[in-house]
């Protein structure tokens, strides 16, 4: 079972995966403003949430991880998790490269893909790859804050994601043009940021972007270090 959900304010995709037999489920990159939608969908489909995962500490929205866990506190145990290098103390699990996260008869593979942020992770489920901001459709995440490193991002994508089978479906955390899915072959061969670029060329390209500071970064990053608990004051 699979659903791709969208938050129009932040252009964030949230992904719901579930085991058909056991009804255990995973939510990847939930958005605080959409937590009621997600709760309603879980109830409608008769799913029991097992994992609440964030691909990284987001700077453009607040995660719903803590809100959803609190709302479902009287049900089966739910684990919140994010990458170890995020140094986000509000999560129950700090994930490392190569882990396998089980939900029912299914499992997710954890792939460390640092570069957009120091702790960015991607998740592989069957033929679906959830890339966070490491690899976007026709692009990639910026590398100029939160420990970002363009050379590291180039290595993450070219050494850990592009070697996957070409038919692997790419589901990013964001898209700003209404695109919903790509595949490894398409991005490997045609991504304007990465295809045909040397490591040095990519680093130079990223250094020249001069992007504006994310509007919500001062609210989102501290909250997301605590799995979405908003700071007082």
Q: What is the pLDDT of residue 72?
A: 97
What are the backbone angles phi and psi of residue 109, rounded to the nearest 5°?
-90, 135
Name the burial class of residue 21, with classes exposed (0-12), middle (13-18) and buried (19+) by CB atoms within 10 angstroms of its CB: exposed
The burial class, CB within 10 Å (0-12 / 13-18 / 19+), for 67 is buried
Cβ-contact 124, 108 below 8 angstroms: yes
Residue 59: per-residue pLDDT: 97
Query: 27, 11 in Cβ contact below 8 A?
Result: no
> What pLDDT does 231 receive?
72
Residue 232's pLDDT is 62
Q: What is the pLDDT of residue 8?
A: 97
Length of the chain: 233
Q: Where do the H-state alpha helices sit in 105-161?
A: 150-156
Contact 77, 48 (CB under 8 A): no
Segments of the chain with pLDDT less than 70: 232-233
List all residues 6 or more positions away from 77 whose beta carbon is below 8 Å from its beta carbon.
none
HSE at residue 135, side-chain half, CA atoms within 13 A, is 34
What's the pLDDT tens digit per position in 174-193? 999 999 999 999 999 999 99
The CATH code for residues 2-212 is 3.60.15.10
74: exposed, middle or buried (Cβ count in 10 Å: 0-12, 13-18, 19+): exposed
């Amino acid at each position: 079972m699979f659903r791709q959900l969208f938050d129009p304010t932040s252009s964030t995709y949230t992904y719901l995966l579930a085991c058909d037999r056991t009804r255990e489920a995973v939510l990847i990159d939930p958005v605080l403003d959409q937590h009621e939608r997600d709760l309603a969908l879980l109830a409608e489909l008769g799913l029991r949430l097992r994992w609440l995962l964030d691909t990284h500490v987001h700077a453009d929205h607040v995660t719903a991880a803590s809100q959803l866990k609190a709302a479902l506190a009287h049900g089966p145990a739910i684990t919140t998790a994010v990458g170890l290098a995020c140094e986000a103390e509000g999560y129950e699990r700090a994930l490392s490269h190569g882990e396998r996260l089980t939900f029912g008869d299914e499992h997710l593979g954890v792939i460390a893909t640092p570069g957009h942020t120091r702790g960015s992770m991607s998740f592989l489920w069957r033929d679906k790859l959830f890339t966070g901001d490491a690899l976007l459709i026709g692009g990639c995440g910026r590398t100029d804050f939160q420990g970002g490193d363009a050379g590291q991002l180039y290595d993450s994508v070219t050494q850990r994601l592009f070697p996957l089978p070409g038919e692997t479906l790419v589901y990013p955390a964001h898209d700003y043009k209404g695109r919903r899915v790509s595949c490894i072959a398409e991005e490997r061969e045609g991504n304007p940021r990465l295809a045909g670029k040397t490591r040095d060329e990519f680093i130079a390209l990223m250094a020249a972007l001069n992007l504006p500071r994310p509007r919500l970064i001062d609210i989102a990053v501290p909250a997301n270090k605590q799995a979405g608990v908003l700071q007082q004051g």
